[in-house]
Amino acid sequence: MKTPSVREIRRRYIDFFVTNYAHKEIPSASIIPDNDPTVLFTTAGMHPLVPYLMGEPHPQGNRLVDSQKCVRTDDIEEVGDATHLTFFEMLGNWSLGDYFKDLAIEMSFKLLTTPWVEGGFGLPVERMSVSCFEGDNDAPRDEESKNIWLSQKTSGGAGIPSERIYFLPKKKNWWGPAGLTGPCGPDTEMFYDVCYELPGFKEDLSLHKEGGRASQQKCDVACDCGRYVEVWNDVFMQYHKKLTDEGAKKSAAGENLSPTDFKFDPLAQKNVDTGLGLERMVAILQKKESPFETELFWSAVEVVLKLAQIPFEEGKIPTHVAQSVRIIADHLRAATFILGDKMGVSPSNVDQGYIVRRLIRRAVRHGKIIGINVAFTHLVAEKFVEQYSDVFSELEQNDAFIYEELKREEELFSRTIEHGIKEFEKLIEQKYPAKTGVVSGEDAFRLFDTYGFPAEMTIEEAQRVGMDGIDMQAFKSAFKKHQELSRAGATQKFSGGLADDSEQCKMHHTATHLLNMALRTVLGTHVYQRGSNITKERLRFDFSQDDKMTPEQISKVEEIVNTQIQRDLPVHFEILDVEEAKKSGAIGVFDDKYAALGNKVKVYIMGDFSREVCGGPHVEHTGTLKHFKILKEEACSRGVRRIKAVVEGIKDVV
């Protein structure tokens, strides 16, 4: 069998469910989550579908399949090894109140083990293991999934034997919600033994010893040595995690919550949410040691190595520069997708823009480490645009913006480095005139946080003047504290795409529709939503606009929204074909792939005033909102403004 390409593997997954099990293919949602106040990016395939997991009808029905763009930023500092990725594609099949454990597991087993020539991935079943939820006070041990795995058989008669089925705790085998409340449930995970597949694989026996496993014969899926790679996850969303009455009181008072402050009620609609990481499957099927050696990255890696004038063999990253090359390739791929997204953002010092800036600058920093002394980020991005444009057409459509922003940020970073060196020299003169010892972690972090000066450069500059470097432990402590503070307002998770499924959130969500249309009326039809953030306390709405709004414009927008509230317009939705939605005057970011797939969209209609593509949920009539007030209008990033506002109706339900 020839080595399958990325396109063939991605297509094999989607076609398997469309052809054999009547799923509808849906396009990837934006990488910028709509309405979710708790995450900067879409971090899992479930995010865009939460309203439908909670019971909203999906316009395509109750069996879906997709490849969702995802970004996870918690592990940015870990990127550089062979496994961590910032951007990734999550392949997923979905049951919204349709099939459950039996069919979900059967389909997973069949696709993984069926030979490639017969429509599957062709993984040998003897190399597969699975895990199931071991049970606790919230939910029982998942013997049902175990028994289903035992019953699966290939054409040759082989199945998953009981000795390769492991029961693991909630930390390992439970999914969602990632915060306070929402749909959740046990999962079953599939692992592939790569130990003898990859010639360069080395088991870390120290990890076995730490885990109480003295030899590789006792290594199992719970071990972190890298031998067992999780390739797929079937989540059975059968519970709704809620606050108890006491928990709700403590939450409202800002008190710390304990496990006893929550309860797990059965969901009226049982769902299946699955995820298969494309990059991992590509590495396995193409027999590569990591995704960085596959075609997903290699053309970009070649550019990096050639610019750094580093000799290399085809398909192999030289060991001595592997970490930096992986960081550059990973970070610039993620930045390319964020900048190129239909809701794309520019580098800035806040929110998503801050992450883009951090990714680009870290890539540039590692470019300098390996000897690249020219502007190069746009050259690497070009390779990713070429690689992905046939699947994610927005990259090609926005390529000029991607390259322009990368070049601009590289130039700004060069100035930042110059400024940072001057601030470093002032610091030395004022606090370390003897030029001995180390720079404190707090001072090093201030240079990083205030001036964007990387810790690695502070170390180099300190050593240049005769010092020993910086107090790295104290720097990491300050950095960790900074991260915790940054996440403090984002510990609560979503339900229905909002902070929760409360009436307060529904009101603020509904108000964003009225605000969007009012802004287009006052400022012009160039205005489009570029992100929103909905909580009980307020709404935040980002929109395309270069100039600061005048007081008169703000007042006029408020007046228009309040007029529509006073009219008490009915709110309902229609499910329409894409072209029908466009002809009806609905606004929204339409993906070309919707039309190509024959997909339908849900259009929420508010009387004769607003028609907008949205998943929900909303209140039933605008009068519920009582009164709308803009609290603040400010810049968000280049070409994007932000409004924070509240509705008076919240007072009636708090």
Per-residue confidence (pLDDT) for residue 486, from 0 to 100:
47
User: Does residue 26 form part of some domain?
Assistant: yes
pLDDT per residue as tens digits for the range 109-167: 999 999 999 999 999 999 999 999 999 988 999 999 999 999 998 877 778 999 999 99
pLDDT per residue as tens digits for the range 159-198: 899 999 999 999 999 987 755 778 899 999 999 988 755 5
Same domain, 254 and 311: no
Section 503-508 average pLDDT: 88
- The number of distinct structural domains making up the chain is 3
Same domain, 33 and 131: yes
Section 539-544 average pLDDT: 90
Q: Could you tell me the pLDDT band of residue 593, with boundaries at 50, 70 and 90?
A: low
Q: 285, 308, 342: which is the final residue of a domain?
A: 285
Cis geometry, peptide bond prior to residue 37 (ω within 30 degrees of 0):
no
User: Does residue 614 form part of some domain?
Assistant: yes
Same domain, 130 and 252: yes
pTM here is 0.76
pLDDT tops 70 at residue 595: no
Same domain, 399 and 311: yes
User: Does residue 579 form part of some domain?
Assistant: yes
Distance in angstroms (rounded) separating the CA atoms of residues 513 and 482: 35
Q: Could you tell me the pLDDT band of residue 375, with boundaries at 50, 70 and 90?
A: very high
User: Does residue 466 form part of some domain?
Assistant: no
Q: 285, 317, 332: which is the final residue of a domain?
A: 285
Per-residue confidence (pLDDT) for residue 416, from 0 to 100:
83
pLDDT per residue as tens digits for the range 189-223: 999 988 755 555 556 555 555 443 334 455 788 88
List the structure tokens of 31: 């990488």
Per-residue confidence (pLDDT) for residue 247, from 0 to 100:
87
Percent of the chain with pLDDT over 70: 90
Section 607-628 average pLDDT: 89
Per-residue confidence (pLDDT) for residue 47, from 0 to 100:
82
User: Does residue 254 form part of some domain?
Assistant: yes
List the structure tokens of 149: 């795995």
* Phi and psi angles of residue 97, each rounded to the nearest 5 degrees, phi first: 75, 20
Per-residue confidence (pLDDT) for residue 216, from 0 to 100:
46
For residue 507, what is the domain's CATH number? 3.30.980.10
Burial of 524 (C-beta count, 10 Å sphere; 0-12/13-18/19+): exposed
pLDDT tops 80 at residue 383: yes
Same domain, 42 and 183: yes
pLDDT per residue as tens digits for the range 226-266: 788 899 999 999 998 888 989 888 877 778 888 889 999 99
CA-CA-CA-CA dihedral for 92, 184, 500, 269, to nearest 10 = 80
pLDDT tops 50 at residue 60: yes
Same domain, 309 and 278: no
Which of 252, 255, 207, 248 shows the shortest CA–CA distance to 227?
A: 207
Report whether 646 contacts 537 (CB < 8 A).
yes
Q: To which H or E segment does residue 396 belong?
A: helix 394-397
Distance in angstroms (rounded) separating the CA atoms of residues 472 and 442: 10
Same domain, 269 and 325: no
Per-residue confidence (pLDDT) for residue 181, from 0 to 100:
79
Per-residue confidence (pLDDT) for residue 198, from 0 to 100:
53
3 state SS of 543: strand
Query: What's 437's DSSP letter?
Result: S
User: Does residue 455 form part of some domain?
Assistant: no
Report whether 278 contacts 217 (CB < 8 A).
no
In this structure, the strands spanning 63-71 and 87-96 are: antiparallel
Same domain, 275 and 316: no
Distance in angstroms (rounded) separating the CA atoms of residues 490 and 487: 5
Same domain, 404 and 279: no
pLDDT tops 70 at residue 487: no
Distance in angstroms (rounded) separating the CA atoms of residues 312 and 301: 10
The whole domain housing 322 covers: 299-418
User: Does residue 232 form part of some domain?
Assistant: yes
Section 626-630 average pLDDT: 94
Same domain, 226 and 334: no
Per-residue confidence (pLDDT) for residue 154, from 0 to 100:
82
User: Does residue 102 form part of some domain?
Assistant: yes
Q: To which H or E segment does residue 611 belong?
A: strand 610-613
Average pLDDT, rounded, for the chain: 87
Per-residue confidence (pLDDT) for residue 455, from 0 to 100:
84
Same domain, 173 and 114: yes
pLDDT per residue as tens digits for the range 312-357: 999 899 999 999 999 999 999 999 999 999 877 888 877 788 889 9
Q: 418, 440, 467: which is the final residue of a domain?
A: 418
pLDDT per residue as tens digits for the range 62-108: 999 999 999 998 778 788 888 889 999 999 999 999 999 999 999 99
Q: Could you tell me the pLDDT band of residue 295, with boundaries at 50, 70 and 90?
A: very high
Same domain, 256 and 343: no
pLDDT tops 50 at residue 35: yes
Distance in angstroms (rounded) separating the CA atoms of residues 294 and 569: 54
pLDDT tops 70 at residue 584: yes
Burial of 412 (C-beta count, 10 Å sphere; 0-12/13-18/19+): middle
For residue 230, what is the domain's CATH number? 3.30.930.10
